[in-house]
Amino acid sequence: MDSDEDFQSTVSSDDDAMQDTDNDEMSGVEDFDAFDDEPDEEPDLGPNKIQRKRIAYDISFKVYSPTDIQAHQDEMMDEVNMILEMRKEDAAILLRHFRWNKERLMEDYMDKPSKVLEAAGLGSSTINPPRLEFIPGFTCDICYEDDDGLESFAMKCGHRYCVNCYRQYLTQKIREEGEAARIQCPSEGCGRIMDARSLDLLVTPDLADRYQELLNRTYVEDKEILKWCPAPDCENAIECAIKKKDLDKVVPTVACRCGHRFCFGCILNDHQPAPCELVKRWLKKCADDSETANWISANTKECPKCNSTIEKNGGCNHMTCRKCKHEFCWMCMGLWSEHGTSWYNCNRFEEKSGTDARDAQAKSRVSLERYLHYYNRYANHEQSARLDKDIYTKTEKKMVQLQTASGMSWIEVQYLNAASQALQTCRQTLKWTYAFAFYLARNNLTEIFEDNQKDLELSVEALSEMFEKPIAELSDPKLKVDIMDKTSYCNKRRVILLEDTAENLANGRWTFNVDLKSLAPVSSGRK
Amino acid sequence: MAAGLGAKRLGKELSKISSSLPPGITLVSAENLEEWFLDIKVLDQNPIYAGETYRLKFKFSKSYPIEPPEVTFVKLSDRPIPMHPHIYSNGIICLDLLGSQGWSPVQNVESVCMSIQSMLTGNTKNERPPGDEEFVRANRLRPRDIDFYYHDNTV
Ligand SMILES: [Zn+2]
Ligand SMILES: [Zn+2]
Ligand SMILES: [Zn+2]
Ligand SMILES: [Zn+2]
Ligand SMILES: [Zn+2]
Ligand SMILES: [Zn+2]
């Protein structure tokens, strides 16, 4: 597991409305056999579409395994190969050239076939399959070898090199540079693209496998509606039709079959209810301490005599250094005694600028305090979630102990698992409500939001306290009922909060004190 | 020590350039198959480079010519670093054909020298790349690992 942040466990609790829908979504995938090819059309959401739209924060998506991804690529290649009557290898190159936009490929090809082939590196194609050859009198332009019996290869462009050089060239491109879809002929300025069949002829099977793997990736990376699940060791991809421009209206949390829940917009762990742009800004703010540094520079100065740091905390400019008792003016750093009779005004500055400076300092301090208020709450939930990283093992251990102590069956102690799941999910949500609140400007809706937040916060803390009780107390049947009630209450409160925030977000009813339109770049790659 | 592919190729390149090189390019030393030095001159009357000779250092990796050689200008008392908006004052050259994307294994020492020569010939700006000072101070990367942004290939 990765140490970045909290990964959610796969097991879902039955009381959690949100996880229910996720499960539907995931199990639904097996029923749809094909991807949706039309990038500009609404994705095929299956028969549950209408029912699912009910929940404002829920988003439609599908999970695909590596086999699914391969199958779909093959399908598209077959289709192009049939319609345009070209080799499958060439169809693959064309599709990759058009970033898997089959419709545009067909259209452009029908229009100007030779121009399209040229641009994709397939110029003047013939039907002969690629093969290795011995050419008498051949000299390789890479190694300058001219031995008789030197085996050589050339793609359709005719640039011929010895097999050994070709092999080394391809190894370098694939292994060292991670290239696959756009490996060009080694000749200078030749745009001919290496195809899979030629490649198979030239390299070892394991390198060909690596090549296929990289090609598979480009398929996902080329399509805006597909993204890799970022969980370590997970090879699935998620399909979701959310558009970049809509990320100020919706927070597209998706759940992979491996159990990882993440945002399709920015690939970070689930951050509902905060929109991607706020998350990006918040994380940046937390990472660089500039805010604090600003405050310190605005509010502290060094004593002009002994250089010890002095913090200003009142409005008066008359400063007395605690250490050396030096008296000076905060504004001009001059000797206070020289200010003559105007004791409380620095007459070397205009009165107004002094007030402005004081206001700026006061504002800076208030803004820092405000930030710290939200940051502390955010960090608290993050830390609790971090501490709970091994919560699954801990819960399991607890469940075993409880079985022994109370004589309950494995099924009967499942409520503890449900409680621990609820705690994790709710903390994740709560954490982001504080970042959300930090950027939220007051309006008539913020009060409802704050009430929802408070409700969830209180119930999570209450559940957490019950959950931490010693085994002896947990075996009390009364407490079991309380925990079950509180668990379902927490889940319900979370749903209410998310629904409320998502609906207002979708309808543009929140006012933020930052611009959500400067959207974060959506990255889809993995290394 | 360069081995296999590189050795034979470099051997043949060396025997060719020892006997003939285009005008303005001279072989200074090639004592092994790892590091060669060549001098280049700009032949036309470009006032920026008139009367000067510049020293190029070629470093070859085991994978040469699959990988590009590392090519830099070196500074000696009579060999300055030429002024050019793509040449840093520490001798590092920002030229796409020397990066893995722009390199082709059919290129060779002679063709690289000619490319650099023509890059100087066509230049009219008597200046260093933007941020030269900072780059020279901070850069610890080898030239091939630097992600140059080839902002203007016309220069
Ligand atoms: Zn060869
Ligand atoms: Zn070619
Ligand atoms: Zn996954
Ligand atoms: Zn996001
Ligand atoms: Zn002092
Ligand atoms: Zn003063």
Among A283, A239, A230, A285, residue whose Cα is nearest residue A261? A230
**Encoded amino acid at B75, one letter:** K
Q: Are A486 and A242 in contact (CB under 8 A)?
A: no
Which segments within chain B are labelled E, that is strand? 25-29, 35-40, 54-59, 70-74
Q: Does the interface predicted TM-score (ipTM) exceed 0.85?
A: no
Q: Are A382 and A433 in contact (CB under 8 A)?
A: no
Residues 6 or more apart whose CB falls under 8 angstroms from that of A135 comprise A152, A160
Q: How many domains does chain B have?
A: 1
CB distance B66–A169 less than 8 Å? yes
Nearest CA in chain A to B13: A144
CB distance A142–B107 less than 8 Å? no
Please list every residue in chain B whose beta carbon sits closer than 8 Å to the beta carbon of residue A177.
100
Other Cβ atoms less than 10 A from the Cβ of A349: the count is 15
Q: Are B50 and B94 in contact (CB under 8 A)?
A: no
pLDDT tens digits for B93-132? Answer: 888 888 877 899 999 999 999 999 999 998 988 988 877 8
CB distance B8–A188 less than 8 Å? no
Other Cβ atoms less than 10 A from the Cβ of A206: the count is 8
Give the pLDDT confidence score for residue B133 in this predicted structure.
82
Please indicate, yes or no, if residue B151 is contained in any of the structural domains. Answer: no
B77: contact with A, CB 8 A cutoff: no
B106: contact with A, CB 8 A cutoff: yes
Give the pLDDT confidence score for residue A32 in this predicted structure.
38
B104: contact with A, CB 8 A cutoff: yes
* Whole-number Å distance between alpha carbons of A254 and B43: 64
CB distance A188–B63 less than 8 Å? no
Our CA-based measurement puts residue A147 at a distance from the nearest CA of chain B, in whole angstroms, of: 12
B22: contact with A, CB 8 A cutoff: no
| CA separation, residue A268 to residues A11, A255, A258, A271, A287 (Å) | 20, 12, 16, 8, 15
Please indicate, yes or no, if residue B154 is contained in any of the structural domains. Answer: no
**Encoded amino acid at A216, one letter:** N
pLDDT in tens, chain A (527 residues): 444 444 443 333 344 434 334 444 443 333 333 344 444 444 444 444 444 445 667 889 999 998 999 899 999 999 999 999 888 888 988 998 898 889 999 999 999 998 888 778 776 655 567 789 999 999 999 999 888 889 999 988 899 999 999 999 999 999 988 888 889 999 988 888 888 888 989 999 999 989 988 887 888 888 889 999 999 889 899 999 998 888 999 999 999 999 899 999 999 999 999 999 999 999 888 876 555 555 555 556 677 777 777 665 444 556 677 777 777 766 666 666 665 544 344 444 333 444 555 566 566 667 777 787 788 788 777 777 666 556 777 888 889 998 988 888 999 999 999 999 898 899 899 999 999 999 998 888 999 999 999 899 889 888 888 888 888 888 888 999 999 999 999 999 999 999 999 999 999 999 998 887 754 333 333 33
Please list every residue in chain B whose beta carbon sits closer than 8 Å to the beta carbon of residue A169.
66, 105
Please indicate, yes or no, if residue B52 is contained in any of the structural domains. Answer: yes
Which segments within B3-144 are labelled E, that is strand? 25-29, 35-40, 54-59, 70-74
B66: contact with A, CB 8 A cutoff: yes
Can you name the residues that pair with A261 across neighbouring β-strands? A255
Q: Cis peptide leading into A273, omega within 30 of 0?
A: yes
Of residues A291 and B82, more confidence is placed in B82
- Residue B50 DSSP symbol: T
**Ligand 4 centroid – CA A238 distance (Å):** 14
The minimal CB distance from A172 to the residues B12, B66, B104 is found for: B66
CA-based torsion, A133, A135, A139, A145: positive or negative: positive
| CA separation, residue A446 to residues A250, A438, A491, A511 (Å) | 18, 11, 21, 9
Nearest CA in chain B to A142: B106
Domains of chain A: 56-122+224-270 (no CATH), 124-207 (no CATH), 276-350+359-507 (1.20.120.1750)
**Encoded amino acid at B92, one letter:** I
Token pair of B37 as six digits? 């030095």
* Whole-number Å distance between alpha carbons of B122 and B10: 29
Residues 6 or more apart whose CB falls under 8 angstroms from that of A524 comprise A220, A221, A224, A226, A227, A228, A267
Give the pLDDT confidence score for residue A300 in this predicted structure.
65
Cα of A300 vs its chain's centroid, Å? 39
* Whole-number Å distance between alpha carbons of A507 and A50: 19
Q: Are A524 and A221 in contact (CB under 8 A)?
A: yes
In chain B, what is the greatest distance between 2 CA atoms, to the nearest angstrom? 44
* Whole-number Å distance between alpha carbons of A395 and A419: 9
Strand, coil or helix: what is A105?
A: helix
Please indicate, yes or no, if residue B145 is contained in any of the structural domains. Answer: no
* Whole-number Å distance between alpha carbons of A421 and A20: 13
* Whole-number Å distance between alpha carbons of A446 and B46: 70
Catalytic amino acids of B?
94
pLDDT tens digits for B139-150? Answer: 666 665 555 544
Give the pLDDT confidence score for residue A389 in this predicted structure.
59
CB distance B106–A141 less than 8 Å? yes
Please indicate, yes or no, if residue B57 is contained in any of the structural domains. Answer: yes
The minimal CB distance from A172 to the residues B13, B67, B107 is found for: B67
- Residue A310 DSSP symbol: E
Residue reference for tokens 């991670």: A178
CB distance A145–B13 less than 8 Å? no
CATH at B13: 3.10.110.10
Strand, coil or helix: what is B35?
A: strand
CB distance A144–B107 less than 8 Å? no
| CA separation, residue A125 to residues A87, A116, A378 (Å) | 10, 12, 60
Please indicate, yes or no, if residue B138 is contained in any of the structural domains. Answer: no
Q: What's the domain range around B93?
A: 5-130
Binding-site residues on chain A for chain B (CB distance < 8 A): 141-145, 164-165, 168-169, 172, 176-177, 186-189
* Whole-number Å distance between alpha carbons of B69 and B8: 15
**Ligand 1 centroid – CA A163 distance (Å):** 7
